[in-house]
Structure 1
C-alpha cells in the first residue's frame, strides 16, 4: 500500500467527523435571531473542533508526503490517531450542550491530548524512516510545537475545573501554534 491510500482513507474519516459534528445542530423551531442564542455554546465548540480537525487534516497531509515505506506500524499509528479524532464530535457536543461545564471541557482536552500524542507517535515513526543526517530528520527532531502542545493540553485539562474559559484559552493557543501548515516539510519537499 502507498501512503496516498492511507491519506485518502484518513481524508474520508476526517470528512465524516466534520459531518457528524454539524449534524449535532438541531434547527430551532422559532424563526427569529433570538432562537439562535441558546445554540451559542454549541456553535463555539463546533468552531473549535472544526479548526482542530482542519489543522490535523492539513498537517497530516504534509506529514504523509515524507513516508518512504508504508508498513503495518504506520497504518496502526494512523488508525490510533483517527480513533482519538473520531471522539471529537462526542466531546464537542457534550461540551457545547453543557455550556462548557468542567468535566466535558476536561474530557475535550483529554481527547485532544491523546490525538496529539498519537500524531506525535506517527510523526516519530515517519522520521525514523529517514537517515539521521537528512534535513527532515533534523528538522522534525527539533519540533517545538509537538513538545509544547501536550503541556498546554495538560494545563487546559486542569484549568477546566477552575475556569472553562481559561481552559478554552489554552485550546485556542495550541490551535494558533498549529494553524499554519508545517512549512519546514514544504521546504524539504521543494529541496528534493
Structure 2
C-alpha cells in the first residue's frame, strides 16, 4: 500500500514536470514564429532589396535571441528545482502555474518590445520588463517553496548556499532588465543592448560563489 502511494506521488510530480517542459517548449517555439520571412514586392527584385528586408528584421532577431536565452535560463532553473522534488502540494502546483503563465507571455511581450523598440516609447520595454520580473520572482518563489523544510516537498536540498546561489541567479535577468528600463529614460538605443549584461552578471555571481563555496562546483 505504501509503495503504491509513493508511486502515485512520484507520478504526480512527473506530470507537473512534463507539463512544465511542454509549456517551456511551446513558448520557446512561438518566439521564432513571430519572425516572418521578409516580403519583397514586385516580380523582379534585387539581392540588395532582400538584404534590406533582412536588416529590417534585426530587432526581431535580437528580441528572439534574448528571449530564447531568458526562457532557456529559467527552464534550466526549473529542471534543477524538480531534481529535488519528491512530493507535491497545491502551493507547489499554483506557484509553478504562475511561473508558466509568465513564460507563455514571453513570446507576446518579446514581439511587442521588438516591434516598437525604435518608437522611443517606454511602454513596450516596460511591458517586457514586467514580464521578466514576474518570471524571476515566480522562479525564486518556486525555489523558496521547494527548499522550505516545512513544506516537505524535497529531498537533498540541505545546502543553503546552493539554494541561495540558485535564487540569486534567477533574479539576475529581472535586475538587468530593470536596469535597462532605467537606462531607457535617457537612451533607448543603449537600453536595447543592456540584456547582454545578463551573462556578465552570471559569470561574476558564479565566480563569487565559487570563491566562497567551492564545494558547490565540485563535480
Higher Cα Rg: structure 1 or 2? 2
Task: Kindly indicate whether the alpha-carbon contact (under 8 Å) linking 2:172 and 2:202 is maintained by their aligned counterparts in 1.
Answer: no
Quote the residue 2:23 is aligned against. Answer: 13
Quote the residue 1:161 is aligned against. Answer: 185
- What is the deviation of 1:158? 2.5
- 3-state SS, counterpart of residue 135 of structure 1: coil
**Which one has more relative contact order, counting CA pairs under 8 Å at least 6 apart?**
1
Counterparts of 1:120 and 1:61, CA distance in 2 = 13
Task: Kindly indicate whether the alpha-carbon contact (under 8 Å) linking 1:106 and 1:161 is maintained by their aligned counterparts in 2.
Answer: no
Quote the residue 2:63 is aligned against. Answer: 45
Counterparts of 1:39 and 1:134, CA distance in 2 = 44
Counterparts of 1:155 and 1:56, CA distance in 2 = 19
Q: TM-score, normalised by structure 1?
A: 0.80
Matched length: 185
Distance 1:172 1:94, change over 3 A: same
Quote the residue 2:132 is aligned against. Answer: 112
- What is the deviation of 1:175? 4.6
CA RMSD for the aligned pairs? Answer: 3.0
Quote the residue 1:62 is aligned against. Answer: 80
Task: Kindly indicate whether the alpha-carbon contact (under 8 Å) linking 1:106 and 1:160 is maintained by their aligned counterparts in 2.
Answer: no
Q: Give the unaligned 5+ runs of structure 1.
A: none
Distance 1:36 1:159, change over 3 A: same
Quote the residue 1:137 is aligned against. Answer: 160
- What is the deviation of 1:116? 0.2
- What is the deviation of 1:6? 1.3
Q: TM-score, normalised by structure 2?
A: 0.72
- What is the deviation of 1:112? 0.4
Counterparts of 2:157 and 2:103, CA distance in 1 = 30
Distance 1:70 1:178, change over 3 A: farther
Q: Give the unaligned 5+ runs of structure 2.
A: 1-8, 41-46
